[in-house]
Amino acid sequence: MNDTEKNNLVNKYGGWERLVIFVGVILTVIIFTFMATAIVGLVHGREGQGLGIALSVIVTLILWVLVWGALWVITGFRSGTLVPQTATKSELDEVRQENARLRQQLEKLSQRKEDSR
C-alpha cells in the first residue's frame, strides 16, 4: 500500500482525530447517564447523590481535558512541530561534509599546538 492509498483511507474513514472524538463522545454519554441517575436519586431523596453528581462532573471535565490534549498531540504530530521532520539525503550529505571539514580543521589546530610546544 503506497502513501496515496493510505491517505485515501484516512480521508475516507477519518484519522486519529475522529477516533479520539468518537471515544470522547461515547464516554461522555455514559458519564452523563450516571449523572442523570444521580440527579434522579437526588430528586427522590436518596442520600449521597450529591457526591455522585460532583464525581460525574469532575470525571467529565477530566475526560474532556484528555480528549483535547490528545487532539493537541495529534495535531502537533500532523504539523510536524512535536516530531521534527527527518532530514533528506542531500541535507545529511551536507552535514557530513561540514563535519569532515571541521575535523580537518581540528586536526590542523591540534598539530599546530603540538608543534609550538
52 contact partners, CB below 8 Å, separation of at least 6: 34, 35, 37, 38, 41
pLDDT tens digits along 23-52 = 899 999 999 998 899 899 889 988 888 888
- Give the model's confidence band at 80: pLDDT under 50 very low, under 70 low, under 90 confident, else very high: low
Provide the H-helix boundaries in 1-117. Answer: 3-13, 16-43, 49-79, 89-116
Q: How many Cα atoms are found within 13 Å in the side-chain-facing hemisphere of 32?
A: 7
